[in-house]
Every structure is written in structure tokens, then in C-alpha cells.
Amino acid sequence: MHSWVIFDGDNTLWEVESLYNEARGSLCHFLEGAGPTQRHVEDFQQKRDKELYATYGYSACRFARSFEDTILHFIPNASAKDVRHVRSLALLVFEQKAAVSDGLKDLLDTLAGQYQLGIITAGERWVQERRLRDFHLQNNFKAIEIVDVKSKAVFQQYCAKHSVDIPRSWVVGDSVNSDVIPALAAGLKAVHVQAENWHHVEGQTTSLPDGVPTVRSILEIRPLLLSTST
């Protein structure tokens, strides 16, 4: 059995929310001559995105559909060409390379002296596979798994498969609902990374369970994990 640090992907190891924000900005720019303010466009798109999550989950088509529904809400007679264009703005999010924090390589090298490193990332498989192909540090991780949704059972199965010493291992992620709560339920420890993310879509719990540390950047986990690794 080994002590592990199991990382989330989106908005933890790599940053994707800025890509969503850029796409929304492009949508607002495209619609600015039609009358609605940027605030109205953003509010409607995010409300529709949340509604569609119940049906589409993490699927990339959810975000594209929210853009399509937004243009048709404000311009009911929008041309098929314009609808295709706004959908392409949304889908560009999943084609762009996500940014990685400076210093992450040094952090992983340091942690690897005392932990096995892993990734459990949730979402549409082709999107996550693309993110991982673009992630130049993936060889630093011993076990990487893509799942539809994270749960207590998912963490338990991962731990059993990879001989994880559960009481001495950590999950690091930005989502209270998808990372922290199921990790704790599986008996793991957890660190919450404060990050701009899609909690408004997931309906994320706003309060952390007692005793869960929070960091403003993934790079801040070094002293916390190394001080408790023995």
C-alpha cells in the first residue's frame, strides 16, 4: 500500500474556465448589434447551461446547445449560418489547449518523493483525452482515469485497483461536490482548490465540510501535504 495524491483535471491541474469565459465574450460580441446587453446575454446563457446540465451533464454539446438557444432567444429568426457560428464559438473551448500553472512540474517532482501521483478526471471522454494529450506533465502520474461522474464508489474502486493507502492519501480538486465530498466519503483526505469553475452549473455546495483545508492555488498544497505525509 502506498500514500497517494489524486488530482482532479479541469480547473485543478489545468485551467479551462477562462476558455469558457472567452467563448461567452465572443458570443456577447456577436450579439451586441441585436440589442441585448452583455449582462443579459451572459445571464441567459448561464441559466440555460444550468438547465441543460440535467440532460447533457458534462457533454460538450451542452455548452454548444446553450449558445444556440441563446441566439434564438434574442434573435428568433437567426439564420442557420449564424446559429452554426455561435455553436462553433462554444465548441472552440474543447479544441484549445488549457493553461498549466507555472511551477507545477517542481511541485509534482517534490510530492513524488513521498507519494504516488494520480489523476481522476470527469467529463466527456474525448474532451478529457484531448486535455490529457495536451498536458505535458502527464508522465508524472502513475495512474490516470477518466470517469463520467465522480462518486464515493469511483474513488473506492480507484483505491482498490491501485493499492492506495486510503487514510494517508489525498484528493486535490476545485469542486466541493465532485472532488471533496465523495473523496471524504471514501475515507480519503481532501484539499479544496479555490478556482473559478462551473459550480453554478453543477449546483455546487457552497460550504466545505469541517476540517477540509482550502488553498488559493494548487501550488500552495506543498507544505500542507509534505507536513502530513509521515
Taking only the tens place, the pLDDT of each residue in 145-190 is 999 999 999 999 999 999 999 999 999 999 999 999 999 999 999 9
pTM metric for this prediction? 0.87
- Shared domain check, 21 and 11: no
Task: Tell me, yes or no, whether 161 and 70 share the same domain.
Answer: no
89 and 55 in a common domain: yes
The yes-or-no verdict on residue 230 having pLDDT over 50 is: no
Domain that holds residue 30: 17-94
- Our count of domains for the chain comes to 2
In whole angstroms, give the CA distance from residue 85 to residue 101.
31
Q: In DSSP terms, which residues pair with 118 in a beta bridge?
A: 6, 143
Cα–Cα distance measured from residue 175 to residue 181, given in angstroms and rounded to the nearest whole number? 9
Distance between start and end Cα atoms, the chain: 14
Last residue of a domain, one of 94, 120, 141: 94
Out of 69, 94, 119, pick the residue that ends a domain: 94
SS (H, E, C) 151-164: CHHHHHHHHHHCCE
Nearest partner of 221 among 197, 196, 191, judged by Cα: 191
pLDDT in tens, 87-119: 999 999 999 999 998 899 999 999 999 999 999
Query: What are residue 120's phi and psi, to 5 degrees?
Result: -125, 115
Domain boundary among 64, 94, 124: 94
Tell me: the pLDDT tens digits for 18-77?
A: 999 999 999 999 998 777 888 999 999 999 998 998 888 878 889 999 999 999 999 999
> Do both 79 and 167 map to the same domain?
no
Give the containing element (helix H, strand E) for 15. strand 14-15
CATH number at residue 67: 1.10.150
